[in-house]
Structure 1
Amino acid sequence: MSDDAPKTKPSSSAPPPWIRTVTTVLGALILAIVLFVLGSALLPGWWASIVTGWVDGVSSAGVLTGLLCGVIFTLVPLAVGYLAIRLRKPWRTRLIIGAVAVLLTLPVVLTIAIDASTTLAATEARTDMVIGAPSFTGAVYGGALGAVAVAAVAIALTWRMLTSRRKVRALSGDLAKGKAREKDRAARDAAAEEARTAAARDAAAREREAGGPPAPRPDSAESAGEPPAER
């Protein structure tokens, strides 16, 4: 086989970007569901004891703690998940980052699981939180919803800014290409005009060389001494 034969490029084993994104999102959703099930069955008592220790039965402390918990453990996981989708990293790394983002939502997921589940452990934990951490659950809901709204606005503004930058770069590229085309056209026109001028000059020079002396005029006979013809 000749050495000049084209070499085929080995195909990459990595899946397409859209498959990696869908896989990351689905993996995060599945992990969130698993956390919800575990939180409603195994961890309600543990989380209720931690929350009641923070709030200690004070309603204002429950509001403040719930808001902070809802905002922090919703906004930070959303930011980490957004990075997992946007970063140009191997898909396994993105899956790991997505799993970390879901794990960061554990306080919010446990609170929702205790409030929404009907298991015995969740019911007992809900009773403990109503007594020992008043207003905490509602504040968590409010903080989480506010964090989601802020994240949605931030993502929309970021997407709009990136779109505007891409449009500006595209317009700048088109303008630069237009200027380059105009410059090339002007250079071609100048070269063509110069070529036409040189060709006309060469043609005139060849005509002068091939024409010889000019033909005598009719009155040249008088100047040579011949008598004029009688009228």
Structure 2
Amino acid sequence: MPAGVRCRRNLRRRRQGLVQELVPKHARRLDGFNEAILSLYAKGLTTGEIPAHLADVYDADVSRELISRVTDSVLDDMEAWRQRPLDRVYHMHFIDALVMKIRQGQVANRPVYVVAGVSLDGERDVLGMWAGTGGEGSKQWAGYLTELRNRGVEDLFMVCSDGLKGMTDAIEQVWPQAVHQQCVVHLPPLPVPAYRRPRAASMPPHRTPAAAPGRGARPGASGLNAGQPRGR
């Protein structure tokens, strides 16, 4: 066999092995491709902006239908996470609503209700997240806390939240024995009394201005000798 033919065959085998190593047989996409699309979608890119980004960076032609199929593939995992069972008792729940921009046809500011719990072992976990409409309200919180109770949370020691009106009633409706602790940041500041200079008549003799040192009289000076040099 001529040397040139042998070299071309070896090169072809190496190339085939390299292609099989990067792209397995019968595989339509590379490993990590779906994760890259989900990462871009989580950062706020739309299904129309992701194909343009992939075309600019990787020179790859990806349709919007493929992007939609990849993003919809995690809906089942999200629903399983939302419905997972929880512990029976928790030390504390931190509840608050975050205002975020959510795209649903149009971009709008919507409250996202978040509950983070501390288990009896000291582990912290996000127990639930819900996207609401309008402003934050105690009625919405009562419904979300009831959902946590239906998922297995029978009781907890303390709930920490802001000073939303009606929050204490919403918590007691779900867990009557829980203590509602208002966040330190949202506590009303204590009134500071105005400082008043005390009157001389109400002060002890040794604290009166006339007896204070450095005000025209030396310590120990009294009567007519006040302010005069002391003789030796």
Which interval holds the TM-score relative to the shorter structure? Answer: under 0.3
TM-score scaled by structure 1?
0.21
Larger strand share, 1 or 2: 2
TM-score scaled by structure 2?
0.21
Structure showing greater Rg: 1
Q: Which has the higher contact order (CA 8 A, sep 6+)?
A: 1
